[in-house]
Amino acid sequence: MLGPQVLLEAARRYGVARLVHISTDEVYGSAPPDVSFDENAPLCPSSPYAASKASGDLLVASYVHTFGLPAIVLRCTNNYGPYQFPEKLIPLMIANALEDRPLPVYGDGLQARDGGGEVLHTLVVEADLRFALGEDLLHVAQFLLGARDERGPGPDPAGRTAAEQGFAPAQSNLGAAYAQGQGVVADVAQALQWYRKAAAQGDAIAERNLGRMYEQGQGVTTDDAAAAKWYAEAAARGDADAQYRLGVMYAQGRGVIRNNGEAVKWYREAAAQQFAPARQALDELTHSQKPQ
């Protein structure tokens, strides 16, 4: 219970625009045969774990009611996907089968389980956040469909439609598809076009990718000053990768006047977001400045 309370209090104090609390369907307890729970079902946890999760849910509800905190609770079923902890059902069964070991079954084996892929769950969280932060619901749906469709933005019109209608995240995503040849024939000119459209609306990912293209001379003449400009735009919006790259440019004097103080500043900003290359660069730069 302490974890949710700490996060809720921090969100209240600092005016977080949206808090998504990831709970579990176990707060409802075991479902009778042929019964499905919905949001209005009573909480009836049957394990200490489920009880602690239900307590967190009630804390969220109390902050919404008392302080008007913009928060939502998502009670998902079992998730599965790549790199799942090996004790979970699917990876455990696969690992045991590969090693010709017994396949353990919980109880009498008659329990029914719901599950969903981690990509689907991620979509739900992302859609809620985008909609809560004021993005148009139709564009959110189009963008998410286009961004996650394995066929890419070529044959599937969803993400492209949102991009053509001016939705910056979809434009940035379409730029990346053209840059990397994902779902479409690689086209640097198209990548630049879509990145520029997204960057004009303040999309930090597009700004950072434009900086990279100018730095590496992809589809444009290499221009460190232009690269530093775009990195600076994205860095100011909190993009850790751009902050690190801007730090590198200040440290090396590329596109900007060499300034180790500025380099340290941007390395620290990125390192604060656990961006490992920035932390390493910061250590190396500060060490080199110490008197021998």
pLDDT 10s digits, 44-63: 888 898 999 999 999 999 99
User: Considering Cα of 190, then 192, then 196, then 199, what sign does the dihedral take?
Assistant: positive
pLDDT band at 172 (very low <50, low <70, confident <90, very high): confident
- Residue of 20 and 246 predicted with greater confidence: 246
Pick the closest to residue 176 from 194, 159, 151 (CA basis).
194
Mean pLDDT of 181-191: 85
**Any idea of the CA torsion for 101, 105, 108, 110, to the nearest 10 degrees?**
-130
Reply yes or no on whether 207 is catalytic: no
So what's the pLDDT on residue 233? Answer: 96
Catalytic residue among 26, 203, 207, 233: 26
Rounded distance between C-alpha atoms, residue 135 and residue 119, angstroms: 21
Mean pLDDT of 165-192: 84
Q: Is 26 a catalytic residue?
A: yes
Q: What is the CATH number of domain 207-292?
A: 1.25.40.10
Spans of all domains in the chain: 207-292
Query: Is 164 noted as a catalytic residue in this protein?
Result: no
- Indicate whether this model's pTM tops 0.75: no
Q: Which of 9, 25, 126, 128 is catalytic?
A: 25
Indicate which residue of 9, 38, 49, 203 is catalytic. 49
